[in-house]
Amino acid sequence: MTSQTQTFAPFHLLIGGKLVAGAGSFEVINPATETVFAACPRADLAQLNQAVAAAKAAFPAWAARPLRERALLLVKLADAMDAHAADIAPVLTQEQGKPLGGAAYEMMIAAGTLRAFAAMDLPPTVIKDTADTQVVRMRSPLGVVAAIAPWNFPVIMMMTKVAPALLAGNTVVFKPAPTTPLASLRVAELCAPIFPPGVINVIADVNDLGDALTSHPDVAKVAFTGSTATGRKVMASAAPTLKRLTLELGGNDAAIVLDDVNPKEIAPKLFFAAMVNSGQVCLAAKRIYLPESLYDAICAELAVLADAAVVGNGMDPASQFGPVQNRMQYEKVKAIIEDARARGNVIGGGKPFEGPGFFIRPTIIAGLPDDARLVCEEQFGPVMPVLKYSKIEDAIARANDSEYGLGGTVWSADTERAFVVAQQLQTGTVWINKHLDLSPDVPYGGTKQSGFGAELGQQGLEEYTQARNINIAK
């Protein structure tokens, strides 16, 4: 069995090309043990200002560097991440909770994101060409980008922001979530010898520097992934200087199953869509709408999967699901489960976990009304409500009756039928007969209160640029 504890070398902030100690430090908790496993350097306001100043000073030379040269450095970082993945993955597991295999997979996806953006370009485009006029659209970098990532996929979300920002010619101040800062600081160590000083800076805090960073007058853009409530605060802090924003916020994604599926085949796919990363995915399937004719059969299959799930410390190779990442989220999910238990029927999982750790077993709950917390709110944990419908029009209306609009899924043996339903869902992304297919070359983003702007793809790259038209008289 793999050791469930490990001692790590000290961590550092990256400011102006130098790995430095924080003005203070704070403890990082392993959610599987509820014990402190490392100390993280803590930046103060002076160090935040130093990081922004370093990024501002580095911007002119970095922006002037040819895009292809910037791309080569992204690939160099990807190579370094691959080479050190075996060292960083245990850090990620012990701070985030996910099984070690999932942490290694996250490192691979993050490196792949770097390579995917490195293959992109921002060429000038001629948008008008007549006998007397030519108009050329150019794209230029914005300046200093403040990038803020959540705790569910710390390294992937770091690269989702850092890669396009740097390729476009911006410089970056990156701030990870306070509960999962350490893997990002290890990546910062790899960045230090690769990029010119100040091009990328990485600081850590205890949620006390976010407003100072997002409102900083020398920050041109904020790229934030997190809760809708915090997204509103970021938007307000950016308003006085009219900063560019990309906000990828909460979701309450619906999965609509049509009446022509095979219950045994569909159940594992639905289970994965809801429970991957212990349900801590903004695009997870969080509400499952099942046709009346197949409801009992699919519920029975889901219950078997939930009861068979192996939950435990992510450092144990036998574990399929780790803990919820932090105590606040753990208590929230438990409260939502208890509310749902009182208003519906727990048909799978739901039993308490003995021992320390923020563990919640995958849980399936049937028979809930649409105003139950588990249906209305984003649970962000391993809990699945299964909801019955008789007419597809009703399922679509109920799925759309949400303040969120991030993603959704439709499942059917007939993709044409599914496509008709998918077109009616009010979300930024809809998958048909699959889930969480997030390719680096395909943009995604939210509607309604799930945010705005795009991540990934060419559109995600262009989010970090200013479009300029050069209008030429021939």
CA-based radius of gyration for the chain: 23
> By the 8 A CB rule, do 429 and 408 touch?
yes
> Is position 354 annotated as part of the catalytic site?
no
* Residue 122: both structure tokens together: 């921002």
> By the 8 A CB rule, do 157 and 225 touch?
yes
| Cα end-to-end span (Å), the chain | 73
Of the candidates 40, 106, 191, 248, the residue annotated as catalytic is 248
Half-sphere exposure of 459 (CA within 13 A, CB side): 10
**102-117: b (≥16 Cβ within 10 Å) or e:** bbbebbbbbbbbbbbb
Query: What are the Cα distances from residue 422, in Å, to 339, 386, 419, 426?
Result: 31, 19, 5, 9
Report the SS3 class of residue 346: strand
> Is position 40 annotated as part of the catalytic site?
no
> By the 8 A CB rule, do 62 and 171 touch?
yes
Residue with tokens 């709950």, as numbered in its chain: 365
* Residue 345: both structure tokens together: 């029927």
> By the 8 A CB rule, do 290 and 261 touch?
no
Closest CA to 330 of 353, 349, 314, 346: 353
Distance CA 474, CA 251 (A): 50
Of the candidates 282, 299, 378, 455, the residue annotated as catalytic is 282
Cβ neighbours of 449 (radius 10 Å):
20
What residue ranges in 412-464 does DSSP mark as E strands?
A: 429-432, 447-448, 451-452
Closest CA to 296 of 330, 263, 274, 273: 263
Query: What are the Cα distances from residue 286, in Å, to 151, 233, 372, 377?
Result: 18, 25, 13, 9
Q: Which residues lie closer than 8 Å to 229 by C-beta, 6 or more apart?
A: none
Task: Give the active site residues.
Answer: 248, 282
